[in-house]
A and B are shown apart, each in its own frame.
Chain A
Amino acid sequence: MSASSAPLSASPCGTRSAVKRLMLLKSEEFGKEVRRSAIRVPEEKKNSMSGAKGKFSESVMKVVFLLAACVSILCVLLICLFLFSNGLPAIGKIGPVAFLTGMEWRPGSELYGIAPMIVGSLYVTAGAIVTGVPLGVLTAVFMAEFCPKRLYGVLSPAISLLAGVPSILYGFFGLVVMVPFVREMFGGSGKSLLTASILLGIMILPTITSVSEAAIRAVPRSSYEGALALGATHERSVFFAVLPAARSGILAGVVLGIGRSIGETMAVIMVAGNQVLIPESLVQGARTLTANIVLEMGYAADLHREALIGTALVLFIFILVLNTSMALSFGRKVP
């Protein structure tokens, strides 16, 4: 190690100034090391010794880095192992068809059908897409093509602020503001599919906006200018030349939003009502897969507990399929 440091500090002029500046950051340590090696170790001995030592620590650290890189693979494998080994037996015992398509979830009488929860999750996600995507994409269009620069300086941080708000706070806001509002306006208890859909739409708004904005900005300017040159107005050029070209990027944002809203737990629990029924109207409550887990995991035992883990397994597989299909269809272009 010290063999390499001696020439470094001895001939800094041979390097780029940036490197020199970086080296100076650590100059104290370097100085010490260099002095030590220069004074105590004779030239030939130093080279051989430190060379071996350097090689040793080099290879040790390479293994350490390699192991660290493998940790994420290990984590995925562990998660799969625990979910499958605890969830699959229960699904087998209940029967995969009965589990996935059963309409009754009554742990007291050993009935474990998660169809209402699957439908609930899909409904809530669809609702979130319906409310969140148009708003998000249009906001992205505004930010990329219509926004004055000064306003952008306010809008952009505000949207990243929205992205950082914890889901429990969204849930609280939904509970104290939106639930009473929906109750007054549309009747029912207020804890409903509608409330959950709007709240989730707000929650996925920042994701959709930022991904769509990046996609719109990535469209070559020439297609916009071409449309202008053909006599289209600014709005027409943006909507009919730029937006179609940004399609795949926007779709990637929507898929991200789907992933986020289907996996959302705490906010949904507080506003969706959580009845185990397939809702027949927007003002009825619904229970999602995630809500089912959190609500009952605290006191569940035996088959009930395993059935809940089976619920998580279904959710996990759904997310995996979603992400894999996204990775396959978009490659690594997705921002």
Chain B
Amino acid sequence: MKTSRRAFAGIKPLSLALRGCVLAAAVATVSIIFFIVGYIVFMGVPNITPEIFSWHYDSVNVSLVPALINTAIMTALSLLISAPLGIFAAVYMTEYARRGNRLVPLVRLAAETLAGIPSIVYGLFGMLCFVMTLGWGYSLLAGAFTMAVMILPVIMRTTEEALIAVPDSYREGSFGLGAGRLRTVFSIVLPPAVPGILAGIILCIGRVVGETAALIFTAGTVAKIPDSAFSSVRTLSVHMYSLSSEGLHIDQAYATAVVLLILVIVINMSSVALAKRITEGKCG
């Protein structure tokens, strides 16, 4: 095949043109990726100074440490709310629901709908529901609940996939030994699915860390370490947004961009690596 391709390359202009298009597109994509990442890193790293890691934020020294801590708290809280719900929902869908169950397509449809909703709509929903109706104000809690709703479909889907990947023989073996459904789920089915579930959860961490639009109107923009669950907080992405839209601290914005980028890359890569290890493990 290879030789014939080479031999005919001279007299097949269409094939040559198509090959050129494909190569050009691939080169363009790769260069876009490296340019974006390279530019942010190149411009940002020289601007990383000890000052932006100081403990307190003020208008002169726009430290990112409070935002970083807030991001960690926000992520932990939203996962605390969403992970059990998502995992339990997936357990119901794969382990409990019988075939022909009318609820299952409905839940799937709901999860797919949730997954498609733009983040700004989540932001408005969070504002109307948690901030105003429940009266929590711009707060950590309102932000965390909004994020929890947003990541719920991701956790459900990844957990479901992980559970489906567990061979049926495990379940049959467990039932055959007289174990109940509950024991089968917790002792047999869930343990081998843990890496898959974890990969999904890490993916969600990346989503929460990178989210801006949904948090501006639910968690607010106060760059302080929160006193309580009801104090307004600013996550790293929101911090990044206010720095770059104010335009006063462009150097610090570059530095913050690098920190955010590296954080998100590390999070996503670990999720991909985890997911890859599972598929390789399954094949081998």
Contact = CB atoms under 8 A, between A and B. Distances in A.
A265 B120 contact: yes
A14 B29 CA distance: 55
B108 to A, nearest CB: 9
Nearest to B91: A65
Interface string B46-77: 00000000000000000000000000000000
Interface stretch (A100-108, A109-117, A158-166, A246-254): A158-166
A166 B209 contact: yes
B29 A205 contact: yes
Contacts of B89: 65, 68-69, 71-72
B179 A290 contact: no
B231 interface: no
Contacts of B267: 164
Contacts of A62: 96, 181-182
B106 A169 contact: no
Interface centre among B22, B24, B216 (most CB of A within 10 A): B22
Interface in B94-141: 95-97, 103, 106-107, 109-114, 116-125, 127-129, 133
A269 to B, nearest CB: 8
A172 B182 CA distance: 49
Contacts of B284: none
Nearest to B244: A172
Interface string A55-79: 0011001101110111111011011
B226 interface: no
A146 B18 CA distance: 11
Interface residues of A, number: 100
A62 B124 CA distance: 34
Given A72-B114, A82-B128, A160-B272, A65 B264 contact: no
Interface in B153-199: 153, 156, 167, 169-170, 173-174, 176-183, 187-188, 191-192
A130 interface: no
A11 B177 CA distance: 9
A139 interface: yes
A142 B241 CA distance: 36
A270 to B, nearest CB: 7
A93 to B, nearest CB: 18
A139 B25 CA distance: 6
B26 A168 contact: no
A286 B1 CA distance: 51
A118 to B, nearest CB: 15
11 contacts: A54-B182, A65-B95, A68-B91, A73-B107, A76-B110, A166-B210, A167-B210, A173-B40, A233-B8, A270-B245, A298-B217
Given A228-B1, A298-B217, 18 more contacts: A3-B178, A18-B170, A69-B89, A75-B149, A79-B121, A83-B128, A146-B26, A155-B30, A160-B272, A164-B206, A165-B37, A166-B212, A175-B244, A233-B12, A236-B12, A263-B119, A320-B113, A322-B116
A-B pairs, top 10 by smallest CB distance, nearest first, are A263-B118, A166-B210, A138-B25, A68-B88, A164-B268, A65-B92, A142-B26, A235-B15, A265-B213, A19-B173
Interface of A: 1, 3-5, 7-8, 11, 14-16, 18-19, 22-23, 25-26, 54, 57-58, 61-62, 64-66, 68-73, 75-76, 78-79, 82-83, 86, 134-136, 138-139, 141-143, 146-147, 155, 157-173, 175-177, 202, 205, 209, 228, 233-236, 238-239, 259, 262-266, 270, 290, 293-294, 297-298, 308-309, 312, 315-316, 319-320, 322-323, 327
